[in-house]
Structure 1
Amino acid sequence: MPGVGWLLDVPHDRVAALRGFLTGWYADVPEREPDGEPSIELPEPLRVFYELAARRPIVYGSQDEIRRPDELAYDEDFGGVPIAEESQGVWTRVITLGADDPLVYDDAEPLCGFLLQFALIDAAISAPYAGQAELTEAECDRFVERLIPVPLAPARLPADPTRIYVAPGLVAIVFPTGDRIGPTVGSRWRSALHELREPGFDWASFDG
């Protein structure tokens, strides 16, 4: 299972953190030869993301997706370049090309932080081994004490706010679901969930 050493890069180099997380999380996915280089100049966070996704397309996302390089274009309706969207069109994230690390419209993080959030959230949601529950806030706070918080602003996806936690081989996201809190934990390695089998509450679903 991959470790969480990439967390050390988050405060000062989120591009390195993104590379470290994706390389470790998808190490078991065979690489393929890239199709080619993007035809436009890209900010570094997006360029690095595309370099990783070119070799392992799973990185683009399973439900929500980052747009492919050949899909990038200025959109007058959005006033910028859409880079990511929800599968049913509920939301779109937009940047303005030209900055080294542009702001992402309607998001709390600049591009480097948004891409890391996206990668972590998709990893949790799309993981082959997962658990879901609906807890009180106090129950959820006790649960995440055993995990490591990722030092990013709360994400706005899949609900606002979404907090992200990790442990070796595991990603957990915590977000509001009505009057409850819905933690989702996911891993590509079933053994990473073993210690969460009896967390002090009943999982709604759990296959670890």
Structure 2
Amino acid sequence: MTALAEAGPGAVVLTLDTVSYAIGLDTMVIILEPGDRPDGTAVQSADEIALRGEPIPIEAGLAIDRRSATGLRFVGFVRLAEGCLPLGPLEFLCSWQSFERPELMAYCGMKIVNRLPFDLLDLVRPVVRSQHLPDLGWVTLLPGDPVAALRAFVDTWYADVPSATGEPASSPVPLPAPLNEFYRVAAGRNSILSGVNEVLAADKVRTADHDPFDGWQPVPDGLIVVGTNLATEWGIAIDPAQPDPQVLYLGVADEPVVEREPLSAYLMQHVLVNVTRTLPFHASAEVTAEQARRLVEPLRRVPLRPMRWPRDETSLYVGSGLVVAVCAGPQAQPRSAWSAREAKDDGDLCEIMVGAIDRSVLLPMREPGFEWASFGG
């Protein structure tokens, strides 16, 4: 009753399986059920809740949409056996509508203003330690056979996602063997293709005959665009006539920027970086080089040369069920930002991005000696 009283007299109460909304004139109370639901409605981290997985009632969605005009404030609780545990005030982060029913809000993220200590977080979102984590056998195949390493990584990390049968869509031009194998490995596992950097489906590959995308430089003769950066819309290009071609970024600088590793190894790196960006169990922070060194000390360095994206010295480290990207040097930004004059270099600071196959993998990183910007463990 204390939780509902926060919404004031006459509040409209809407109850679903994992969440209740009490909507008053100036306050919405959100009461969550405890539990770990990475793809559903639940407390997701010490400072964030997610409302999704079941339609957000239209009354609640409208109230959230009109929050600025009405001055609506948000308060959170979690329903435990002994009573409701207060999460305190919440702040709206972002939302989007349902594709099937645009009148309904499909997702809403809320920030927990007063970050939960880990002992309370474990009450409302208990973590079950995994007994089965993928091994690191695929790393032993690097740097000699990155195509086999990629196949072995995907077979272990995405074992619960069935691979599609049949041949992938055909490309307008013949493609190098490493890219064709990548498409076979990724078939049915679309998250492997996508991320901030996306590998285009084979039938979406662009050649010099295509008109350039808005803001892009034209595709040089002899090259094809096989990927994009979704944030800044620059292209990832190769020469399809080469058996294992260089990878070039078009539109990042006045001249193409060349990755250090060829296509076969770049595709392995692409998948690993996407793991740190797209999995629900992730963490990120900006730290000093020494703090980053201590974090990755117990991990295994992926034996490939540093990537030039998302920063010019991006190195990858792995453990069982864990991938860490340490991004140092100038940030990749569109157009001439890679020149010595304009590149942004944070000196001793670097960005770390962590992705884990299971939430329990992140538990040893809860107190790393610095403050996480976001942390899903």
TM over 0.5: yes
Contact 1:34–1:55 (8 Å) recurs in 2: no
Structure 1: gaps spanning 5 or more residues = none
Match of 1:131 among 283, 301, 306: 283
Tell me, in whole angstroms, the C-alpha distance in 2 between the residues paired with 1:68 and 1:91: 16
Q: For the Cα contact (< 8 Å) 2:169–2:201, is it kept in 1? A: no
Q: Say if 2:245 is the partner of 1:102.
A: yes
The 5 Å alignment of 1:61-140 reads 61-75=194-208, 77-79=218-220, 80-105=223-248, 106-140=258-292
Mapped contact 1:173–1:183 kept (Cα < 8 A): yes
Amino acid corresponding to residue 38 of structure 1 in structure 2 = S
2:146 is aligned, of 14, 21, 24, to 14
TM-score (norm: length of structure 2): 0.52
Question: Partner residue of 2:335?
Answer: none
2:358 is aligned, of 184, 189, 193, to 189
* Residue 158 (structure 2) aligns with: 26
State whether residues 132 and 204 of structure 1, in contact with CA within 8 Å, keep that contact through their aligned partners in structure 2: yes
| Aligned CA-pair RMSD | 1.8
Aligned letter for 1:78? Answer: V
Structure 2 CA distance, aligned partners of 1:71 and 1:205? 34
More strand by share: 2
Show the counterpart of 1:202.
371
Per-residue Cα deviation, 1:52-103 (whole angstroms, up to 9, x for no partner)? 2223222111332101110124226222101111013443211111222111
| Matched residue, 1:41 | 174
Instruction: Tell me the amino acid that sits aligned with residue 104 of structure 1.
Output: V
Secondary structure, aligned partner of 2:236: strand
* Matched positions, count: 208
**What is the letter of the counterpart of residue 128 of structure 1?**
P
What's the offset of the Cα at 1:198? 2.0
Structure 2 unaligned runs (5+)? 1-132, 210-217, 249-257, 332-345
Q: Which has the higher helix share?
A: 1
Higher relative contact order (CA 8 A, sep 6+): 1
SS of residue paired to 1:100: coil
Structure exhibiting the larger radius of gyration computed from Cα positions: 2
1:160 to 294, 304, 312: 312
Measure how far apart 1:129 and its partner are: 0.6
